[in-house]
Chains A and B, each alone.
Chain A
């Protein structure tokens, strides 16, 4: 025990730093994991093409909470273009394909998620929600 429950991942899951409401968000996006009922609310603020602020509310398992915190830590301050690239690499990592480990930085501590197909949805909840939020901002 256990690739998925290493001390560092459990610590990330318990991180409080990014878990808060944001009143002046550009968009608030809700995501649901239908298989377990976990919900996340993502607050997104973009300025000059960069992720200026990102926070979340919601509860979930260690996998989903750690993944959310790792995601926020990784994409804060990044350009939307880079975030798109990070997202694509996260998807590749989850599928067990080759990906750019240097680009994902700390997110790659969860690369073993690929060995647990029934936990991939937990891992991807935040990332999918972010992707939806960015699409919405793009349209709007």
Chain B
């Protein structure tokens, strides 16, 4: 893949940071936006913008068509049907909607069990944990016994006999970059409702919800070149139909009397309030852009960069690497420098080299505890994280490695 040819599509990459060319390695937090996505928003707002569904006039009808066309495109991308493809503000709202709706509908109740992992992002951990305290269902934790925060098959196997009602797992860890074996997990927990947090998975690979037999899949648009504030909740129709909406309001209503309310059909039942039309249109455009590149090409490119970076970083004896470091690690590398706090690493890389990485606990504090117990360093309860996307190159990795050597020399 020729990533350099894509540079002209991303004006942010022309920016200088402290006089240096920007090297953007914070893609797991959010990606840069290509011109076509930003232009699609401009077109929408300048030419076709109106509120959807209710209006009779031309603009309302155009806006509605744009929304529903985009829904079809996004549904196709997932091999889902449009009525199972619900717009939300992002993965966080999607996951909260699923968890809250399951308890409100009584599908999850006092004697139920929910299995989560301790490598989850807080968004797929805290809702299940908090609701378990209110609704008294049991929370089970699959803990990573593999290399530095890596989850193994046997970490799940020990819970098969528990027959959890819900299994909520990440498709790929936002800290270690490990892709979880979703297919195996599905086979192991045939009867469980399987919720997959796809925030770090869907941007990197084609996820076919039918083939994987997922009950729920969530992801965010902004991590795959789309705008901020748009995300998807895919849910199997058989569940969505049984479930009580999480949010009530406009659009999701069928009929309201003083005594009662009935709900709109799917997917609108779960889309209370004025939808984020611009977000939806921008996300569909981002997906179109990615499909033009080819999801397979993209996946191979990211894997190649990841392997290259792992190899280069392994040569640095002052770097401790987290995660599996094998064929299951995609797009994300977490590490620490012996004797240098991650904040100082990130600050130095930015100021001296224009390199953007992320540091902190990455909204995964339970995983930080796991890493802390395995680290040979005085673990700072945080890591440095470099993450790649379509426009990154091996030169970016080389710059990172050079930068880290300098950090160590100055601050180590």
Interface residues of A (CB under 8 A from B): 1-2, 4-5, 10, 35-39, 59-63, 116, 119, 122
Q: In the complex, what residues of B have CB within 8 A of residue A4's CB?
A: 347
Contact mask B375-404 → A, CB, 8 Å, 1/0? 000101110000000000000000000000
Taking a contact as CB atoms under 8 Å apart, the answer to whether B352 and A2 are in contact is: yes
Question: Shortest beta-carbon distance, A114 to chain B, in Å?
Answer: 15
Taking a contact as CB atoms under 8 Å apart, the answer to whether A63 and B351 are in contact is: no
Measured CA separation A56–B368 after assembly (Å): 23
Residue in contact with A62 in the complex, picked from B344, B359, B368, B378, CB distance below 8 Å: B344
Measured CA separation A10–B378 after assembly (Å): 18
Measured CA separation A39–B368 after assembly (Å): 14
Q: In the complex, what residues of A have CB within 8 A of residue B361's CB?
A: 36-37
Taking a contact as CB atoms under 8 Å apart, the answer to whether B360 and A5 are in contact is: no
Residue in contact with A5 in the complex, picked from B368, B380, B410, CB distance below 8 Å: B410
Q: Say yes or no: A37-B347 contact (C-beta < 8 A), given A1-B352, A10-B411, A62-B341.
A: no
Please classify how large the interface on chain B is, using the bins under 10, 10 to 19, 20 to 34, 35 or more: 10 to 19
Q: In the complex, what residues of A have CB within 8 A of residue B342's CB?
A: 36, 61
Taking a contact as CB atoms under 8 Å apart, the answer to whether B411 and A5 are in contact is: yes
Q: In the complex, what residues of A have CB within 8 A of residue B410's CB?
A: 1, 5, 10
Taking a contact as CB atoms under 8 Å apart, the answer to whether A35 and B360 are in contact is: yes
Question: Shortest beta-carbon distance, B293 to chain A, in Å?
Answer: 33
Measured CA separation A2–B18 after assembly (Å): 12
Taking a contact as CB atoms under 8 Å apart, the answer to whether A63 and B352 are in contact is: no
Q: Which of B311-365 contact A (CB under 8 A)?
A: 341-344, 347-348, 351-352, 359-361, 365
List the 7 closest A-B pairs by CB distance, nearest first: A61-B343, A61-B341, A37-B381, A62-B344, A61-B344, A37-B361, A36-B360
Q: In the complex, what residues of A have CB within 8 A of residue B380's CB?
A: 37-38, 59-60
Taking a contact as CB atoms under 8 Å apart, the answer to whether B368 and A63 are in contact is: no
Interface residues of B (CB under 8 A from A): 341-344, 347-348, 351-352, 359-361, 365, 368, 378, 380-382, 410-411
Taking a contact as CB atoms under 8 Å apart, the answer to whether B360 and A63 are in contact is: no
Measured CA separation A49–B352 after assembly (Å): 45
Q: In the complex, what residues of A have CB within 8 A of residue B359's CB?
A: 36
Q: In the complex, what residues of A have CB within 8 A of residue B348's CB?
A: 1-2, 5
Q: In the complex, what residues of B have CB within 8 A of residue A2's CB?
A: 348, 351-352
Question: Shortest beta-carbon distance, A68 to chain B, in Å?
Answer: 13
Q: In the complex, what residues of A have CB within 8 A of residue B365's CB?
A: 37
Question: Shortest beta-carbon distance, B270 to chain A, in Å?
Answer: 32
Q: In the complex, what residues of B have CB within 8 A of residue A63's CB?
A: 343-344
Taking a contact as CB atoms under 8 Å apart, the answer to whether B347 and A119 are in contact is: yes
Measured CA separation A5–B347 after assembly (Å): 10
Q: In the complex, what residues of A have CB within 8 A of residue B368's CB?
A: 37
26 A-B contacts (beta carbon < 8 Å): A1-B352, A1-B410, A2-B348, A2-B351, A4-B347, A5-B347, A5-B411, A35-B360, A36-B342, A36-B361, A36-B382, A37-B361, A37-B368, A37-B381, A38-B380, A59-B341, A59-B378, A59-B380, A60-B343, A61-B342, A61-B343, A61-B344, A61-B347, A62-B341, A62-B411, A116-B347
Question: Shortest beta-carbon distance, B385 to chain A, in Å?
Answer: 13
Measured CA separation A63–B365 after assembly (Å): 22
Taking a contact as CB atoms under 8 Å apart, the answer to whether A1 and B411 are in contact is: no
Question: Shortest beta-carbon distance, A61 to chain B, in Å?
Answer: 4
Measured CA separation A36–B351 after assembly (Å): 19
Taking a contact as CB atoms under 8 Å apart, the answer to whether B344 and A5 are in contact is: yes
Measured CA separation A61–B347 after assembly (Å): 10
